[in-house]
Each structure stands twice: as C-alpha cells, then as structure tokens.
Amino acid sequence: MIGLWAWLLVTNVAEAAPSPIKTDFRADDVLTTLPLNLPDATSLSQTEIPTAALADRIQSLIENARATGDPRFLGYADRLFDTVPDKNLGDRLLVLRATLAQSLHRFDAARADLNTVLARSNDRNQRIQAALTLANLELVQGQYSESREQCQQLMRLYPGVIAESCLALVDARTGNADDAYRRLSALTARGNLNAIEQSWAQGTLGDIAAQLGMASATEHWQEVLKINPDDLYIRAQLADWRLEQNDHAAVLTLTEGYEQVDALAVLRAIAMKHSDQEGFETLAATLKERFDEAQWRGTLLHKRAFARFQLDVVQRPDVALDYAVENWVSQREPLDTRLLLRAARANGADSETRRISEWLSRNAQHDARYPENH
C-alpha cells in the first residue's frame, strides 16, 4: 500500500532552492557534492536502461525532491525523460512525467499525460494514481467540478479514505466545509487506517480545520508529521498556521534546519522579524540573494514564496502584488488566494479584490484565513 501511494504526495512538494552561487573559492575547493548513484542522462538511451528501471530511478528522484525540498532532483528526473521517445512511454512513465510536470508547474502538460493514461490504460494501479494526481492538479488550479469528477472516478477505482479525503477537500472549497470535516472525522474515527491513509486523512482534516478557523488544525497536521517528518508541504502548512496564531516560537521550531526550503525559510524570516530574533537580517539577505539568482536564471517557479517575501519581509507590496497575481493564474489554493487578497489590500487595488471576491462567491468559498475575516 505504501508503495502505491507514497510517491504521489510529491505533487505537493514545497519550494526550495540550492545555495547561492559563490565565486570566491580556491582551485582545490569542493564546490558541491551531488547525490550518489544518479544516472548520467546525457549518456543514456532507452536500450541502456530498461523501462522499469528508468521508472524506478525517476520515481526515486521525485521522492528525494519531496523529502529534501531540493528542486535539483526534479531537474535530474526531467533530463532522464529526454532519453525516451514519447511513443515509448508506458502508463507508469506517463504518470511519473505528469507528476514531475505538475511539480515544475507545467500544468497543461501534466493534465494531458494523465488524461492519456485514464483514456487508454488497463492497469488499475496506474489509473488510480492518474485519477488522484489529476484530482489534485484540478483542485490546485481551482477547477472544482473537474476535481470532483476525478475524485469520483477515484472512488470507483479505489473506494476508501483517500477517495473520501479527495471529495471532502473539494466540498470544503465549494461551500460545504463543515459537513466535509464532520464526515471525514467520523470516517477516520473508525480506525484501521494504514500510515498512508492516515496521512491523507489527517492532512485533509488539517486543511479543512484551518479553513474553518478551528484550533484542531494543529493537531491534525502534527499527526501527519509524526508519521512523516519530511512532509515539507504539511510542515509549511502548519508553520503558516502557527504564524497566523502569532506563535512565533512554534514557527521557529518547525522551520529550524529547513532554511533551504523557500516556503519554510520565508515563514521563518517573518517569525524572526516579528519576534526581533537575532539572525533575521542574515536570513533575509540570503533569501534576497537566492530569489535574485532564481530570477536571473529564469527559474523562479514558486511565486507564492517570493511574493510573501516581498510583502512581509522586505515590505515591497507593489512587487508582491505583481507576483501574487501571476501565481494566482495557475495556483488557487487558499494560501494563494489569501496572499493575493492581502497584497491587493496593501496596494489599495480594489479592482483586484473585487475580482477575487467574485470568484470566491461563485464557488461559495469561505476561509477564516482570508483578510476580510481579520
């Protein structure tokens, strides 16, 4: 069971970045240490790596990206796909390529691969993974009818708590958060869940509880981190939630040692700033250098963290609004929406606020974290 589901969680990988480039080094310095046993994508061909072995390698790289927050693993996986012609990609590799594409914000490409698998595959496991991944993609992009359709397909293919969690989250985002929370809570109370099912259920309950403004969000997310401390997405969700509660000490504890993960580093910087912690200026300068370099390289994939940095760390609301708007075009999770509303308010951008409010109204979406509730 764990083998079937664990890698799918990589679609929620938190944003991270490698250390900034340094130019002041000696000729004999070790500049970086690459992960062991990585294939050299430039020297591979499909005949040199069997399809199953290639899929295993790519899946391992995606899992490493999720566990470490290091996007270089995604780059290695991306290069490996260049070794296989599209016509030779089987269902498993297509699902993996879609998972990778979603992590790299190539949403249309991911959707196309997943729909191909769902249309052609007779492999139940790959259909299950494709349906869940596509449901998550549609949810992230605020396509709630499409997400519900995939959750229902998942329920037909693999009924149980993961499919119920999928449906509960769609319900929560479309006006039925209270019912969704009660229904999923009752289901998990029955017990007999394995670790993956427990993670999905508790993570979903935490998300819905935060949307409802319930203190139990903390407990739900802590349960997930007990199962998997390296779940960077949940760690970032919990840290953001504790920051909302002005519990800066908890944020610092949750983010300690995760300064290379942009989402967590930005939250840490905000907590340090508000609690006058020594080291804030150093971390803020490191983040600025990191974001500047990503912009220069054209690799600034995760605009939410950058916009949050601009709004709450260096206090440049105009820049924050520009990037929050760009981010919201493709990502419409509650934290993306909250950020855009906050940036719009900081800039007095009433037309932008109205646009988002109309979208929320059409979807009957309410969230205790949105600025109108504070």
Q: Domain locations in the chain? A: 51-159, 180-229
Q: Kindly tell me if the per-residue pLDDT of 10 is higher than 70.
A: no
Residue-level pLDDT at 153: 97
Residue 302's contacts (CB-CB under 8 Å, 6 or more residues apart) are 15, 262, 263
Q: What angle do CA 160, 162, 166 make, to 5 degrees?
A: 115
DSSP H stretches of helix in 6-106: 51-68, 72-81, 91-103
Other C-beta atoms lying within 10 Å of the C-beta of residue 47: 7
Q: Treating both helix axes as pointing N-terminal to C-terminal, what angle do 161-173 and 195-212 enclose, rounded to 10 degrees?
A: 10
* Nearest alpha-carbon partner for 160 in 309, 9, 5: 5
Mean pLDDT, range 146-175, rounded to an integer: 98
d(CA 339, CA 304) in angstroms, rounded, equals: 8
d(CA 172, CA 231) in angstroms, rounded, equals: 22
d(CA 333, CA 134) in angstroms, rounded, equals: 15
Q: Kindly tell me if the per-residue pLDDT of 334 is higher than 90.
A: yes
Of 6-20, 86-100, 240-254, 316-330, the least confident: 6-20
Residue-level pLDDT at 70: 85
Average per-residue pLDDT for the chain? 88
Q: Taking the domain 51-159, which CATH number applies?
A: 1.25.40
Residue-level pLDDT at 49: 64
Nearest 10 degrees: Cα torsion 297, 326, 115, 3: 60
Mean pLDDT, range 232-256, rounded to an integer: 97
Residue-level pLDDT at 297: 79
Q: Which two tokens stand for residue 276?
A: 């006058």
d(CA 276, CA 18) in angstroms, rounded, equals: 27
Whether the Cβ atoms of residue 243 and residue 267 lie closer than 8 Å to each other: yes
4 vs 251, higher pLDDT: 251
Q: Which two tokens stand for residue 129?
A: 């993974």
Residue-level pLDDT at 374: 65
Whether the Cβ atoms of residue 49 and residue 39 lie closer than 8 Å to each other: yes
d(CA 72, CA 59) in angstroms, rounded, equals: 14
Residue-level pLDDT at 34: 41
Of 48-52, 90-94, 143-147, 330-334, the least confident: 48-52
Q: Look up residue 42 and give its amino acid.
A: T
Question: Look-up: residue for tokens 């017990």?
Answer: 191
Question: Look-up: residue for tokens 């009660």?
Answer: 182
Nearest 10 degrees: Cα torsion 21, 25, 29, 31: 0
Res. 296 pLDDT band, cuts 50 70 90: confident
Mean pLDDT, range 225-235, rounded to an integer: 95
Residue-level pLDDT at 185: 97
Other C-beta atoms lying within 10 Å of the C-beta of residue 239: 26
Question: Look-up: residue for tokens 């940095």?
Answer: 309
Task: Check the CA dihedral 4-132-118-13 and report its sign.
Answer: negative
Whether the Cβ atoms of residue 36 and residue 73 lie closer than 8 Å to each other: no
Other C-beta atoms lying within 10 Å of the C-beta of residue 350: 10
Q: Kindly tell me if the per-residue pLDDT of 17 is higher than 90.
A: no
Res. 342 pLDDT band, cuts 50 70 90: very high
Mean pLDDT, range 182-208, rounded to an integer: 95
d(CA 134, CA 112) in angstroms, rounded, equals: 10
22-73 residue pLDDT tens: 334 343 433 333 444 444 444 444 445 678 899 999 999 999 998 888 888 9
Of 21-35, 272-286, 301-315, the least confident: 21-35
Predicted structure pTM score: 0.87
Residue-level pLDDT at 300: 74
Residue-level pLDDT at 79: 94
Task: Check the CA dihedral 90-96-101-104 and report its sign.
Answer: negative
